[in-house]
Amino acid sequence: MAATLQGIKQRFGIIGRSPLLDRALSTAQRVSQTDLSVLIQGESGVGKEVFSRIIHDLSNRKHNKFIAINTGAIPEGTINSELFGHEKGSFTGATSDRKGYFETVNGGTIFLDEIGEMPLDTQAYLLRVLESGEFIKVGASKTLKTDIRVIAATNVNLLDKIKQGKFREDLYYRLNTVPIKVPSLKERREDIYMLMRKFAVDFSEKYRTDSIKLTEEARIVFEKYNWPGNVRELRNVVEQLSVLSEEKQIDVRDLVEIVPNIFDNNLPAKINSKGSESFEEREILYKFLFEMKNDLNDMKSLVYELIRSNDLAMPDMSGIRQKANAPSVARDFEQLRPEPHSNIVSNQEFRKEDAPIIISNAPNFQIEAEEVIESLSLEEMEKEYIKKALKKYRGRRKEAAEELGISERTLYRKINQYQIEE
């Protein structure tokens, strides 16, 4: 079976080694030898039409016609005529008889994409075709027969449509004889880089240029992105990078220029902004977090130095460890206890004029741990950082914006958003 699947991938240009993808291909290969109705499910852009071609081309109908129809793109008033045909004079504009797809593709396969958008009356016609192979042209009274295989596809949950009264339950179960779930890119991340390399080579040949490559950091970002448009979006992004990037070694900055929202799915909280401003605002938060980390390190160093300089005896930290829930900090302080025969100079050996301020070193000395609850809101941190920049440059927005690494327009919008007084 593995060799068969590999042959299918090569024949139809399918890239990937995901078990979910292999399972879907295996199901398509098995059902192709039958005339059963198939319902292909998957997000937009995953390649559902490719699976319908696989089923047709591997079936006994491969020498007959195949047609793919997007039922959601055909107006409700004409879809019955398109699918089943009409008689002359059956409606305004029907100046002659017309054969529908179910008549012209007789003996072949018809692929109905976006089946969930099909009108209810058309669903009744389709159900009759699936059950008996019979249909009637619009405006006619004569019943016609057809031998056609129906493959349907949807990117919505048809069971929800049934609950809303927008899809027939009997038609759903008639179509869903064999379901095939095509995985999205976020369900097969191991295939993302392989697809990217394939598209990069294709576009380098098409535009007669060198193939683009990703740095290690850019590759990680590329694979972590959720790709809501799936393979279609991935292909478009690779084409844009191939055409627009001056350097063929693509780094994270190049990715951000082409796909400004590529970090949206990697952040713990989503920032509601658009374009390059989203990246600039994240830069503000990153700088603020780094500054906080440096401040904490400076404070910890100051406390360590104070303890060493004063030869302070450290109390039992078990109570603090439980109360403050900070075992790592407690261990750091425990390491500062002087050993019995250490060479640390005692307080009495300091000269009076050199002695620092002494915090009580009495035996009953205790440290009271106090839980401090700080606001962890990203918006509050961003607001505070903007205030600091404005204060530093005395309200001069241009210089403050340069300090923050954002545009002056973005800074002005943020000042209004947070109602910051300058």
What integer pLDDT is reported at residue 291 of this predicted model? Answer: 66
Question: Residues 43, 157: one domain?
Answer: yes
Report the pLDDT value the prediction gives residue 370, as an integer from 0 to 100.
41
For residue range 364-397, what is the model confidence (pLDDT) as tens digits? 444 444 444 444 466 777 788 888 888 888 888 8
In a domain, 49, yes or no: yes
pLDDT given at position 229: 92
pLDDT at 351: 45
**Do 42 and 56 share a structural domain?**
yes
For residue 420, what pLDDT is reported?
84
Let me know if residue 351 belongs to a domain: no
Q: CB–CB of 278/260 below 8 Å? A: yes
Count Cα neighbours of 302 within 13 Å in the Cβ-side half-sphere. 6
Element (H or E) spanning 401, and its range? Answer: helix 397-404
Query: What's the burial of 53, exposed, middle or buried (CB within 10 Å: 0-12/13-18/19+)?
Result: middle
> Are 201 and 155 members of one domain?
no
| Eight-class DSSP state of 268 | S
- Indicate whether 109 and 14 sit together in one domain: yes
Q: What is the pLDDT of residue 58?
A: 95
Same domain, 204 and 115: no
Report in angstroms the alpha-carbon separations of 274 from 5, 163, 270, 287, 309.
42, 36, 11, 20, 52
Residue 159 domain-assigned (yes or no): yes
pLDDT for res 318: 52
Q: Is residue 50 part of a domain?
A: yes
pTM: 0.61
What's the pLDDT score for residue 25? 96
Same domain, 15 and 90: yes
| Predicted local confidence at residue 319, as pLDDT | 52
Same domain, 136 and 35: yes
Range of the domain at 285: 279-338
pLDDT of amino acid 313? 59
At 42, which CATH number?
3.40.50.300
Coil vs helix vs strand at 1: coil
Q: Which regions in the chain score pLDDT beneath 50?
A: 266-277, 320-376
Rounded CA separation 346/238 (Å): 68
Indicate if 152 and 240 belong to the same structural domain. Answer: no
The CATH number of residue 222's host domain is 1.10.8.60
pLDDT on residue 346? 42
How is residue 69 annotated by DSSP?
E
CATH number of the domain encompassing residue 411 = 1.10.10
